[in-house]
Amino acid sequence: MNTPILSANAIGMRFESASGPVEAIGNVSFDLREGEILALVGPSGCGKTTLFNIITGLLAPSRGEIVIASDRAGQDVGYMLQKDLLLPWRSVIDNVILGLEVRGMARDKARAIARDLIEAYGLKGFEDARPSTLSGGMRQRVAIMRTLAFDPAVVLLDEPFSALDFQTRTLLQQDVARIIAERRKSAILITHDIGEAITMADRILVLSTRPSTVIRTMDIEIPRDARDPISLRSDQRYNDYFVSIWEDLQLPNARVA
């Protein structure tokens, strides 16, 4: 897990506004290693989603660059948003194949890929169901399948469980981490939930307030197969990580001392 699949090199972002320039990201650098889940935590408004938009190419950074070690132009990054954004008039399988259709894949081939994902991740029998008939957790499973269907090199997870109840969110944290590992993907997770970051990530980047910089990079040394979301909370290592990150976020303005 030492080969960077993505590198953010001295990223800075400034927006122009009516009242003058706004510095959203000061200087952020990191590597995403192959097969790793990297979590970004930080105060609201510190530029995490802006950073995701830079990684996807939706925004050009004011400074620095994103380098992705992939030769599949246009298929490097999959983005799973806070809301599932499933199309209500399309069935589960037709929502899963949406990105493949946009990329021009033949419908029969796209549906075969979708059926494999649906069977592998617990929704067999719901292929023809409409999103309105699914639970919140099932809808998020469809969303992650749609993200994985076109086989991206990097998966971006932007608070994907924030709208779910505690029980569903807890179960999905473990499931999505497992799915990403099984598919041998590399992922970046944005979350405000410190416990979620510890449960899912191999490393955590703690960001300061705007303009954001990296306060700390923390390796989570609890093996993934020992990351049951409930029993983990009684692990002293979990508590130590939690307290350390919490204290970082309580620094004056969450700035580097």
Total-model pTM: 0.88
Dig out the tokens for 84 from the structure. 């599932």
Q: Are residues 248 and 159 in the same domain?
A: yes
Dig out the tokens for 61 from the structure. 């950074």
Q: Which of 248, 245, 153, 148 is nearest to 197 (CA)?
A: 245
Q: Are residues 140 and 216 in the same domain?
A: no
Q: Are residues 168 and 225 in the same domain?
A: yes
pLDDT of residue 70: 64
Q: Are residues 113 and 29 in the same domain?
A: no
Q: Are residues 107 and 180 in the same domain?
A: no
Identify the band that residue 256 occupies on the pLDDT scale cut at 50, 70 and 90.
very low
**Which stretch of 84-93, 171-180, 182-191 has the lowest confidence by average pLDDT?**
171-180
Average pLDDT, the chain: 86
Identify the band that residue 174 occupies on the pLDDT scale cut at 50, 70 and 90.
confident
- Report pLDDT digits (tens) over 69-127: 865 544 588 888 777 888 999 999 999 999 888 888 889 999 999 999 998 888 889 99
Domain count, the chain: 2
Q: Position of tokens 């894949």?
A: 105
CATH of the domain at 40: 3.40.50.300
